[in-house]
Structure 1
């Protein structure tokens, strides 16, 4: 399996990065070929300046990101919930990379073609809030927008793993979550 792991946290010392490393290590142990895009290290303009109406040259790192998205059969996306949404760098990444003609294609009528169909995805989402609060009070916006409005729209079949109450978690709980990433990676990379 060819897996692309995208880390959507802008701080390289974040718990998201630790979860990602655990997932990557377990996936590689299972025989998966894994490539990593760490958004904390990419340098690009996150603003889609002309919307879909005009051309905006892609930075070389975003061209490489598109090539990796075409290459992968599985995507693992790890990000925190901030203000009921994704970090700005991740939203900007989606805006700039998942473009018409690459990730989807408009038709004269009906729903667009899903140009990244046939791929699976795993969201690993961290939050300081409990899951019940995100689901019932925030209507799960940070997951819904990525799962349905972004990845499924482009053709991915998406599964979700949640890591909640991070701010109040104990070292023991964090170790449990890290160990859980091993199980998640092995589940994702079963042959």
Structure 2
């Protein structure tokens, strides 16, 4: 069955290994007949600061409106981003702060501490490029940024399941190793 897939290159620059992972995933998904929209965070223009929280409505810039439209359209969301200081880059966090808003991504409910999830019936995959060895990331550091992305961002809005794929350590990796990671991303896109 064909899916509608939004793939976000979540690196704040316009050219990166994260962008290459996103494109490889898109190539694999396109080859299987899925509808694809690829977005590049580095090309998006917006203020990443939700200055007043939810206390004041902050008008959305056109790129943020387009991002919300893409999330509404898709039934599978893929994010490819680098791991910086144990989590996502600040601009990616700002994208979520500015767009995953009450009334769009979730809705507070009377008499319940849990909000309604308004982006249900969508799955997600996160492709993470890291310098940290995978075993160290999971066993020692306990992948805190992954847990936040899964439970407190995507899961909070209704995305389920949320799967992670780590490509590491990137620093010092050979061209052959990087190509094998791109091949893996292409295969992931091909089997969605």
CA offsets 1:10-43 (integer angstroms, 9 cap, x no match): 1222111111111111111110110011100001
Tell me the distance in 1 between the aligned counterparts of 2:18 and 2:57.
33
Say which of 20, 23, 26 aligns to 2:25.
Answer: 23
Alpha-carbon offset, residue 138 of structure 1: 2.2
CA offsets 1:157-183 (integer angstroms, 9 cap, x no match): 111111010012111111110110121
Say which of 1, 4, 15 aligns to 1:2.
Answer: 4
Q: Which structure 2 residue ranges, 5 or more long, are not aligned? A: none
Q: Secondary structure at the match of 1:40?
A: helix
Q: Which structure 1 residue ranges, 5 or more long, are not aligned? A: none
Correspondence for 2:72: 70
Note the 1:28-67 alignment, pairs <5 A. 28-67=30-69
Note the 1:62-141 alignment, pairs <5 A. 62-108=64-110, 109-141=112-144
RMSD (Å), alpha carbons: 0.9
Correspondence for 2:167: 163
TM-score, scaled relative to structure 1? 0.96
Determine if contact 2:29/2:191 at 8 Å carries over to the other structure: no
Tell me the distance in 1 between the aligned counterparts of 2:144 and 2:116.
24
Tell me the distance in 1 between the aligned counterparts of 2:47 and 2:83.
22
TM-score, scaled relative to structure 2? 0.95
